[in-house]
Structure 1
Amino acid sequence: MRHQLTRFLVAGVMGFLVDTGVLYLMLWLGLGYFAGRAISFLCAVWTTWQFNRRYTFAPSRHQSIWAEWWRYLAAMSAGGGVNYAAYSGAVSLLRPAPWLPVLAVAVGSVAGLVVNFATAKWWVFRRARSQ
């Protein structure tokens, strides 16, 4: 499980970079902190799913890749709720600054980590062999 958690954290760092980068792009395009974050979150979830299904957890042979994606999106949305609440709190409570989006995404990512790992390991990839 330690190796899975380490790889899950690597995927999380990748997702964080995508999430933050896309959020700054969305802000530059004129979307606000909340609409921009909805788009950046979906991009980050897709990125982490690609990494996690290949390197962290063995994909299930009992479900289609399409079904796996929807399960993963649902699972990450549970942690995403925690993540988004923490992100929203940071955006609402802190003074606007150039570094605010990256800090708020980081706060949200840490807050949702445990929920995301648990749902990925024991729900999305539960039929996969343990490593």
Structure 2
Amino acid sequence: MSGAGCRTEFHRLLRFSVVGTGGFLVDVAVLQLCLSLGLDPYSGRAVSFLAAVTFTWALNRAYTFDPSGRPIAVEWVSFVAACSAGGAVNYAVYAVLVASLAAPPGLAVAAGSLAGLAVNFLAARRIVFR
């Protein structure tokens, strides 16, 4: 890859990370809301993950990548599906930390988010927004 291409990919990764930080904040806020409404930490995390992935899809579509040109619903489903591997890594790290180390949910979400970042970036870049 040329120098300019590397810089472009680095900037995409940087923007993806900034958007992911916003997604993390959405994830934690929705999780806290779910917990306050009586959901358990695992069901609440499923709801908060869906909210966060929708938030990151919308911002990545506008800020990080060019829209794919497919119908918006198809693109959203494609993004959710493509990020499922990163989401699985994210959730697994979260669940292990909550179950075995009794980590606070916010800290567990942060660790899971970092673990899934690279997988999600590659999936979004190579599958959704080619």
User: Do both share a fold (TM > 0.5)?
Assistant: yes
2:23 maps to 1:15: yes
Match of 1:49 in 2: 57
* RMSD, aligned α-carbons: 0.9
Match of 1:90 in 2: 97
Report the alpha carbon displacement of residue 92 of structure 1 after superposing the two structures with TM. Answer: 0.9
Q: How big is each residue's C-alpha offset from its partner over 1:109-130, in whole Å with a ceiling of 9 and x where there is no partner?
A: 011111100000000001xxxx
Match of 2:85 in 1: 78
- Structure 2: runs of 5 or more not aligned: 1-8
- Structure 1: runs of 5 or more not aligned: 127-131
Q: Greater helix share, 1 or 2?
A: 2
2:108 maps to 1:104: yes
SS of the residue 1:59 aligns to: coil
| Residue range with higher mean Cα deviation, 112-121 or 86-95 | 86-95
Structure 1 segments, 4+ long, off by >3 Å, are none
Letter in 2 for 1:94: L
How many angstroms apart in 2 are the aligned matches of 1:103 and 1:15?
14
2:7 maps to 1:4: no
How many angstroms apart in 2 are the aligned matches of 1:68 and 1:119?
13
Letter in 2 for 1:3: H
TM-score, normalized by length of structure 2?
A: 0.91
Greater RCO (Cα-Cα under 8 Å, separation 6 or more): 1
